[in-house]
C-alpha cells in the first residue's frame, strides 16, 4: 500500500468534495485544468449525482473540470473504468522486470479522446497507474474497417 502525504490544499479539496457529494474520495489528482477524484465503485453514482448535478456544483467551486472515476484494486478493471467512454479493443498487462506494463489498445478514431486535451488525460492515467500499481501505460491504436 502506498501512502500519499496530503497538504492543507489537498485536504480542502477532499473536504469540499465530500461536503457536496456526501462521498469521501479514495484519492485524487490535481492537474492544470482538472481535478480527478477516485471513489469506491459503490459510491460512484452518489458522487456524480443525478444527471451529473454534483459535478456541475463542484466545477465553479474548484474552477476546473471535475472528473469522478470508480476505483479498483484490479489493474485491468481500473484501466477500463478510467477510459470507460471509449471503445477499448484490449488491455494487456505484462510484467517486465518487476514492473507492470499496461498496453491499452483503442480504435484509431478514439485516440484523441484517450489522450485528452494537451495530453492531460493520458498523463493523469499514467500518474495514477504508477502511484497505485507501479505500472506504466502505453497506448496503441488500431484502425477498424
CATH code for the domain of 94: 3.30.300.20
Residues of the chain with pLDDT under 70: 1-6
**Last residue within a domain, chosen from 49, 70, 91:** 70
Return the closest-CA partner of residue 103 out of 87, 116, 115, 92: 92
- Tell me the C-alpha distance between 67 and 59, whole Å: 10
The reply to whether 117 and 83 lie within a common domain is yes
Q: Could you list the residue range(s) of the whole structural domain that residue 35 is in?
A: 8-70
The reply to whether 24 and 59 lie within a common domain is yes
pLDDT at 6: 67
- Tell me the C-alpha distance between 82 and 1, whole Å: 20
The reply to whether 134 and 84 lie within a common domain is yes
Q: Which three cell numbers stand for residue 125?
A: 492515467
C-beta separation of 82 from 75 below 8 A = no
The reply to whether 16 and 57 lie within a common domain is yes
Number of domains in the chain: 2
Q: Does the CA dihedral 76-124-10-130 come out positive or negative?
A: positive
Question: Is 40 part of any domain?
Answer: yes
pLDDT at 144: 80
- Tell me the C-alpha distance between 67 and 89, whole Å: 23
- Mapped onto helix, strand or coil, the DSSP state of residue 105 is strand
pLDDT at 97: 82
DSSP 3-state helix, strand, coil percentages of the chain (rounded to 5)? 45, 30, 25
Amino acid at each position: 500500500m502506498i501512502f500519499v502525504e496530503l497538504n492543507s490544499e489537498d485536504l480542502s479539496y477532499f473536504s469540499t468534495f465530500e461536503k457536496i457529494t456526501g462521498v469521501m474520495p479514495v484519492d485524487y489528482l490535481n492537474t492544470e485544468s482538472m481535478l480527478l477524484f477516485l471513489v469506491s465503485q459503490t459510491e460512484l453514482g452518489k458522487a456524480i449525482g443525478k444527471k451529473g448535478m454534483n459535478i456541475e456544483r463542484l466545477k465553479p467551486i474548484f474552477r476546473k473540470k471535475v472528473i469522478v472515476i470508480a476505483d479498483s484494486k484490479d489493474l485491468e478493471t481500473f484501466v477500463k473504468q478510467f477510459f470507460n467512454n471509449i471503445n477499448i479493443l484490449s488491455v494487456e498487462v505484462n510484467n517486465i522486470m518487476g514492473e507492470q506494463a499496461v498496453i491499452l489498445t483503442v480504435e484509431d478514431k478514439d485516440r484523441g479522446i484517450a489522450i485528452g486535451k494537451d495530453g492531460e488525460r493520458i498523463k493523469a492515467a499514467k500518474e495514477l497507474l504508477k502511484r497505485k500499481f507501479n505500472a506504466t501505460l502505453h497506448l496503441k491504436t488500431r484502425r477498424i474497417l
